[in-house]
Amino acid sequence: MPVEAEPRVHLAGEPSPRLQAALHYAARGIPVLASHFPVSVRARAAGERAALACSCGSAACPTPARHPVWGITADDATTDPAELVRWWVGIPDAGVATPVGPGLGMVELCHRAPVDLIVGWLAMRGIRVGPLIAAGPSYHQFLVAPGRGGWSFRMMEHGSLLRLGTGGGLVLLPPSRLIDGAWTRWLRPLETAGPLPDGDRLFRALLRLPGVVELAGSVPLGAAKLLSTGGEAPR
């Protein structure tokens, strides 16, 4: 998978883009914390490309580039600007993470279809999409109201579906770098996305998501343009 470039290069002396993002989320009442991130490791042989590993230094890291730095935990997520500045001044490249829990869940879909077709297909079923994050090629993360669902993973005929809910976990908010080198970015930002959709309903719907060819043939052009609005089709 090709490594994506950083969304924006910051000038010397300017606060890290991750710190700026963390302060922005905190100002909106979203508690965040600093997460480990990918670092390059030496190639094992001449001619090999450098690989990426978690900045924690553990070769057996179970959640590479997706767990808190130092000794902090999900319970330490905060909106306190002074604490955020301390974390990101210490580690400017740290990712920006927010914990899932009673107020926030996440459904991650891995599917090859263009995301506008997926959003259009959901809209045709009366399901409005809320905040939506691109997490690398083919990975789409829907922020949702957690409902009754906890952690679950399902393989589907045309992809896979991961759910983080009341059981805990972290969401890497843009601009954070994933262990495969991709950067998270907003497809539907918090500012324009409206309320969080029902996670139970969204998860059940996406379990029935068809393949790329069927999607392309069944989603009208008007519905496929609903990504910017997250419009809701009549039930």
Amino acid in position 41: V
Q: By the 8 A CB rule, do 97 and 32 touch? A: yes
Q: At which residue do the structure tokens 């589907």 appear?
A: 156
- Going from the N-terminus, what domains does the chain have, and what CATH number goes with each? 11-98 (no CATH), 100-228 (3.30.2250)
Q: Which residues neighbour 132 within 8 Å (Cβ) at sequence distance 6 or greater?
A: 115, 119, 140, 141, 142, 143, 186, 187, 188, 193, 227, 230
Cβ-based neighbour number of residue 136 at 10 Å: 19
- Is the pTM higher than 0.75? The answer reads yes
Token readout for 96 is: 């920006």
Q: At which residue do the structure tokens 């959901």 appear?
A: 122
DSSP letter (8 states) at residue 42: -
CA atoms within 13 A on the CB side of 204: 11
> pLDDT tens digits, residue range 117-166?
999 999 999 998 999 999 998 999 999 998 776 789 999 999 999 999 87
Q: Which residues neighbour 206 within 8 Å (Cβ) at sequence distance 6 or greater?
A: 107, 109, 122, 161
The pLDDT value recorded for residue 150 is 77
The pLDDT value recorded for residue 178 is 96
Q: Which residues neighbour 30 within 8 Å (Cβ) at sequence distance 6 or greater?
A: 79, 98, 173, 190
Q: What percent of the chain has pLDDT over 70?
A: 86
> pLDDT tens digits, residue range 170-189?
999 999 999 999 999 999 99
Please state which of the ranges 44-53, 84-93, 206-215 shows the lowest mean pLDDT: 44-53
H-run or E-run covering 223 = helix 221-224
Tell me how far CA of residue 131 lies from CA of 140, 158, 233, in angstroms.
11, 23, 18
**pLDDT exceeds 50 at position 82:** yes
In the chain, the N- to C-terminal Cα span, in Å, equals 39
Cβ-based neighbour number of residue 103 at 10 Å: 12
Q: What percent of the chain has pLDDT over 90?
A: 69
